[in-house]
């Protein structure tokens, strides 16, 4: 079924940064393969928003901060379990920059998230405590944008958390599956898909747009 890109739609491009793509410190497998498709799809949207992970050194999500092992270990934060990752997307470093092949000059906003040292932010809308807002919801509402399409990385973390948060905030949330890639830790994709069902997040292919 074809999806009409209506005037109140926006494309949200999640975290297409050097550290999350092949060659980066927290690379998502084949993440670079979706760049041409994202660029092409963005050309169909009047409204495009980009997000950037933007961590200070010593961030709570870094395994090195705790002397623990990335991908395997976790810590208990005030907001629940915090997965631990390699140092990534450190403010002002090349790894935090948007990938040079991301070509969306008409993007209207770049939203940075995860800049507080003691809390992570997978979602583009709320930090991992589920309470602290990034301000994106207010921006979208003030501009009258209510149907949101999500692409980027990673499907089972920042893309998924962003889409679910959008749905909880009463936006229409749509994930373009073929223009996202997953980290794929045990059970994370399955959990994400189950949450999409619960919160009425739609999943489509870019060919329907």
Q: What residues are labeled active site? A: 15, 113, 158
| CA 47 – CA 145 distance, rounded (Å) | 9
| CA 7 – CA 56 distance, rounded (Å) | 37
| CA 163 – CA 72 distance, rounded (Å) | 26
| Cis-peptide, bond into residue 201, ω within 30° of zero | no
| CA 169 – CA 156 distance, rounded (Å) | 19
What sign for the dihedral angle of Cα 49, 171, 188, 61? positive
What sign for the dihedral angle of Cα 78, 79, 81, 82? negative
| CA 55 – CA 116 distance, rounded (Å) | 7
Neighbouring C-beta atoms of residue 27, cutoff 10 Å: 19
Contact 14, 158 (CB under 8 A): yes
Which of these, 52, 9, 17, lies nearest to 35 by C-alpha position? 17
């Amino acid at each position: 079924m074809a999806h009409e890109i209506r005037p109140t739609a926006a494309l949200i491009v999640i975290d297409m940064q050097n550290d999350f793509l092949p060659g980066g410190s927290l690379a998502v497998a084949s993440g670079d393969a979706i760049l041409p498709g994202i660029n092409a799809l963005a050309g169909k949207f009047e409204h495009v928003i980009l997000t950037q992970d933007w961590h200070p050194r010593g961030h709570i999500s870094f395994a090195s901060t705790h002397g623990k092992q990335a991908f395997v270990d976790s810590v208990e934060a005030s907001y629940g379990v915090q997965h631990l990752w390699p140092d990534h997307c450190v403010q002002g470093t090349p790894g935090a920059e948007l990938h040079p092949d991301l070509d969306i000059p008409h993007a209207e906003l770049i939203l940075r998230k995860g800049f507080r040292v003691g809390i992570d932010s997978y979602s583009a809308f709320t930090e991992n405590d589920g309470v602290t807002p990034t301000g994106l919801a207010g921006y979208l509402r003030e501009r009258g944008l209510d149907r949101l399409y999500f692409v980027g990385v990673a499907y089972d973390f920042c893309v998924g958390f962003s889409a679910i948060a959008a749905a909880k905030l009463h936006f229409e949330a749509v994930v373009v599956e073929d223009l996202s890639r997953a980290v794929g830790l045990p059970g994370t994709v399955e959990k994400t898909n189950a949450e999409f069902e619960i919160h009425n997040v739609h999943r489509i292919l870019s060919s329907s747009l």
